Amino acid sequence: MRVLAAAGDPGGARCLIAVLKSLENVGIDCSIVRHGFLDKEAPVRWHRESHHRAEMKGSVYQKIREGNYDIFLFSGSVDDGVPLEIGHIARECGVYLVTILDSWTSYSDRLKLEGKPVLYPDLYTVIDKHSYEQAIIEGIPADALHLTGQPALFDLDCRVESLEFTKREDWLSTKGLNPEKKTLLFISEPVESDHSSSRESGRYRGYTEKIVLQQLLNSLECFYSDLQLVILPHPRENRIQLAATWNRYRGKLDGRILQDVDTLETVFFSDGIIGMASIVLYQAWLCRKPTLSCQPNLCRQDLYFLQELDDCVFVTDPIQIDAEVKKWAKDVERGIPVVSLRKDFQIHEKAPEQISSLIQQLV
């Protein structure tokens, strides 16, 4: 069996890496497309294939047509068409298609390429019962769906345990932050670029990251003497625009926009986590961190998954946001940090092995 993999976004890339390592452990030959975050983050020992059509001779397209691969494993994205372009060629050549859902958004949109039919895979792995049901609603064939957990979270327990040897004060100091203040983390997302800022768009969420950050800063400024806010940008986010919003509305609030930091470290050493619908917010919830999902005027049903999580404050009514944010911040201010994984983590522990097994059963 020969497996080819492609992913542009960081979330999908990390899922694929976990699965590819599991396949590698049982002796299956794996290659990746030289593209996006999978190329950047995958081990250097893995063989890379070019996807540029200008290099058609010896490119991945030619090798697929020559029958060099049996499985194409990919993670789609509304902002990246390369995996789908390869996927359509693979489908024409009888290659099995496998996609991994890395978050609770865009179940079918991530399979759509302009001018092409929806690229339904032979195997579509989802995170939990909610994502399974939502995928059905969005038209994913039931016989392709398998509930496996999220493979990039499989070793969350080990990674959390390794961080317990680092002092919170030391970590904050190295990032230029005040160890005497409670630290809130805002997990940003490229909402406007991925899901539009127009109500006419079917992908519109009801808000943008700029709207959310502005509202949060307005609500949190009164805590400037006791709290500081750090912002974790998405790797694809426009940091200049993010910095402009931060500098315009922060007032007296201390903090900074972080760069080149480990995501889990940042979650671990922060006292409260704020986000919209990021998988990182769910990861923080698994670690029992105080979490707040702020999604004003939310108009997409697929983004309500965080509402189902115990203890995660979920607010969509813009009239209530100020009061809810301030109440939550006061609770964080008074709270005692506790990090221990929720039992919900168990559904992710075996995800790479489960997906690896399902892939092997296709051929």
- Together in a domain, 218 and 315: yes
The pLDDT value recorded for residue 199 is 81
Is residue 80 included in any domain, yes or no?
yes
The residues facing 145 across adjacent strands are: 124
Tokens of 194: 């991925």
Number of other CB atoms surrounding residue 274 within 10 Å:
28
Q: Per the structure block, which two tokens stand in for 175?
A: 């990032």
Closest of 178, 155, 174 to residue 166, by C-alpha = 174
For 157-172, what is each residue's pLDDT tens digit? 999 999 988 899 999 9
CATH number, residue 246: 3.40.50.2000
Same domain, 298 and 261: yes
pLDDT in tens, 206-224: 999 999 999 999 999 999 9
> For the purposes of burial, counting CB atoms within 10 Å of the CB of 136, is it exposed (0-12), middle (13-18) or buried (19 or more)?
middle
- Number of domain units in the chain: 2
Q: Is the same domain home to 175 and 276?
A: yes
Q: Which H or E run contains 356? A: helix 351-362
> Which string of b and e fits 209-240 if b means at least 16 CB within 10 Å?
bbbbbebbbbbbeebbeebbbbbbbbebbeee
**Residue pair 53/76 in contact by the 8 Å Cβ criterion:** no
Same domain, residue pair 275 and 357 = no
Domain co-membership, 177 together with 31: no
Q: pLDDT at position 8, please?
A: 92
Same domain, 148 and 191: no
pTM for the whole thing? 0.93
In-domain check, residue 112? yes
pLDDT of residue 57: 65
Domain that holds residue 30: 2-153+347-362
**Residues 147 and 183 occupy one common structural domain:** no
Which residues, including other chains, have CB under 8 Å from residue 160's CB and lie 6 or more apart?
264, 268, 287, 339, 341
Residue 281 falls within a domain, yes or no?
A: yes
* Sequential pLDDT tens for the chain (363 residues): 999 999 999 999 999 999 999 999 999 999 999 999 999 999 999 999 998 765 556 789 999 999 999 999 999 888 889 999 999 999 999 999 999 999 998 899 999 998 999 999 999 999 999 999 999 999 999 999 999 999 999 999 999 999 988 899 999 999 999 999 999 999 999 999 888 788 878 788 999 999 999 999 999 999 999 999 999 999 888 899 999 999 999 999 999 999 889 999 999 999 999 999 999 999 999 999 999 999 999 998 888 999 999 999 999 999 999 999 999 999 999 887 666 899 999 999 999 999 999 999 999
Residue 293 lies in a domain: yes
185/320 same-domain check: yes
Report the pLDDT value the prediction gives residue 340, as an integer from 0 to 100: 81
